[in-house]
Amino acid sequence: MSRLVAWLEDYILPLANKLAQTHWLVALRDAFVSVMPITIAGSLAVLIKSLIEAARVNLGWETFAWLMSPLALISNVVWRGTFALFALFLSMSLGYHLAKSMEVDPIAGAIVSLSSLAMSIANLTKMRVNGRTISVKHTFDISQFSTTGIFTAILFGSIGVSIFAFCVKARLKLNMSVTLPYAEQMALDSLIPAIIAIFCVGMINFAFQTITGTYFGNWLLNSIQTPLVKLGQGFGMVLLVTLFVQIFSFFGLNGLGVWAPILDSIWLTAQNVNVTAVRNGEPASYLWVRGSFDAFAWFGGAGGTLMLVVAILLFSKRSDYRTIAKVALAPAVFNINEPIVLGLPVVLNPVYFIPFVLAPIVNVAFSYWMTMLGLVNPVQAAVPAVVPPIIGPFLACNYDWRAIVLCIINMLIALAIWTPFVFAADKIADSNNPSPYFTRQY
């Protein structure tokens, strides 16, 4: 086992470190994190509306539903200002964080990114009037600013901000001899670079529209985004990403953070489509989404380490391990695993490598097929990561009681996987070695 860990450390860790330090990936991760209030608010609006509808249909609470109808209408308004404009917010957030990482004006970066998105989507929409479909030009279909525009926002936001940053660092700016207030000075310094960046993106879109006769955003949606999201529904793809997250986390890197651009670009897009479908009274479109990992595998954090804490408290005879587990229990309930991962430690500890990687993979595989068989609803709402297990899956699956059962089964499976290695860690620690920690010299 030590040889396997050493091999991973020699060949995988350098690559993991490079990925973790790539400023574009870091900016994209931070952009998705920044728009979390929008995601949660939109999902909460869906949950409120679904709860009122469930009370009316399943319990026959007509009076309750009538009294709560204003709240349902408010939820619709909240929806239009959050999820319906998700790509819009993501574009601004990405531009801000990407410009900040490139050490240029982040506000100007956000504006350039937003402009780049707006130029890249269709400025016409189709409407049905008296049974006929007509095209209305010079207008935006609001759906293009929702999840359908995520990849367009990422691509053109990145292009626009990169050109902007290049021009700023090339010192293409107006030189004023007078002293101006800070805000005005920053605006003037960004003026020429922003104009160049916006016109460059405009030329790219104009050339594409002229050659192909379609908008780049529409082409990107149909040719890249939709196929990638569908690819993310494959069983092998889901397991592969789970494996990578666990391996990166084992080396002390934030696996969820490093792979957030992939997780959010593909599976968060699918999740947002599910949320939109449920809000419109339609069945969920995708089987596995971003919240599925959190609901059914990563309880306690990456690795399902809540069950490691439980296993130590139930079976470990070592007082030092039990003390760490007691301290880590409360954070683990709220899916915070740093106390146990770094305090035990699990990081770079060959004794715990197998269960740390295996438990989430088994949980993901089991949950995937339970969802595939229709034994539990797909995740249909975004739930904050700090919501405890059992409650989180119940809310994420739109009040499906079967999600509670599945979560409990998964936790028992993870406990069964972790337990033998807790016994092994005790035996190793009780032998001549003072601790089971990885002892390779650096």
**Which residues contact residue 232 at a Cβ distance below 8 angstroms, ignoring those fewer than 6 apart?**
238, 266, 267, 270, 288
Report the pLDDT value the prediction gives residue 21, as an integer from 0 to 100.
65
Question: How far apart, in whole angstroms, are the C-alpha atoms of residue 32 and residue 428?
Answer: 42
Is residue 298 within 8 Å of 335, Cβ to Cβ? yes
Tokens of 157: 């936001």
User: Worst-scoring range by mean pLDDT, 4-13, 346-355, 425-434?
Assistant: 4-13
Residues 52 and 71 sit within 8 Å (Cβ to Cβ) = yes
The predicted pLDDT at position 367 comes to: 94
pLDDT band at 440 (very low <50, low <70, confident <90, very high): very low
For residue 184, count CB atoms less than 10 angstroms from its CB and return exposed for 0-12, middle for 13-18, buried for 19 or more: exposed
**Burial class of residue 413 in the structure, from the number of CB atoms within 10 Å of its CB (0-12 exposed, 13-18 middle, 19+ buried):** middle
pTM listed for this prediction: 0.75
Percentage of residues in the chain with pLDDT exceeding 70? 89
Band (pLDDT 50/70/90 cuts) for residue 17 is low
CA dihedral 142, 145, 151, 155 (to 10 degrees): 120
Could you give the CA distance from residue 368 to residue 287 in angstroms, rounded to a whole number?
8
Query: Cα dihedral sign for 212, 215, 217, 219?
Result: negative
What pLDDT is stored for residue 439 in this prediction? Answer: 42
- Range in 27-36, 359-368, 401-410 with the lowest mean pLDDT: 27-36
Task: Report d(CA 279, CA 272) in Å as an integer.
Answer: 10
CA 371 to chain centre: 20
Quick check: 111 and 98 in contact, CB under 8 A? no
pLDDT of residue 224: 81
Q: Grade residue 280 by pLDDT with cuts at 50, 70 and 90.
A: confident
pLDDT, residue 431, reads 67
Comparing 252 with 210, the larger pLDDT belongs to 210
Residue with tokens 């339970």: 370
Tokens representing 366 are: 């089991």
The pLDDT score that the predictor gives to residue 12 is 59
What is the 3-class SS of 206-242, one letter each residue? Answer: HHHHHHHCCCHHHHHHHHHHHHHHHHCCCHHHHHHHH
Is pLDDT of 435 > 50?
no
Helix 150-169 with 106-120: angle, nearest 10 deg: 130
Residue with the two structure tokens 């931070």: 30
Closest CA to 245 of 229, 263, 228, 233: 263
Cα dihedral 206, 31, 29, 233, rounded to 10, equals -70
State the pLDDT confidence band at 144, using cuts at 50, 70 and 90: confident
Quick check: 282 pLDDT over 80? yes
Cβ neighbours, 10 Å, residue 403: 26
Of 262, 260, 268, 257, nearest to 291 (Cα)? 268
The 10 Å Cβ neighbour count of residue 278 is 22
Say yes or no to pLDDT of 388 above 50: yes
Q: Name the band, by pLDDT with cuts 50, 70 and 90, for residue 18.
A: low
- Assess contact for 31 and 15: CB atoms under 8 A: no
Indicate the DSSP class of residue 132: E
- φ/ψ of 158, rounded to 5, equals -65, -40
- The whole-number pLDDT of residue 261 equals 77
The residue written with tokens 């994209």 in the block is 28
Mean pLDDT of the 221-230 span: 84
Q: Rounded CA gap, 123 and 205, in Å?
A: 12
| E strand or H helix that includes residue 129 | strand 124-129
Q: Are 245 and 256 in contact (CB under 8 A)?
A: yes
Looking at the predicted structure, is the pLDDT value of residue 98 above 90?
Answer: yes
Within 10 angstroms of residue 220's Cβ, the number of other Cβ atoms is 22
Neighbours of 101 (CB within 10 A): 18
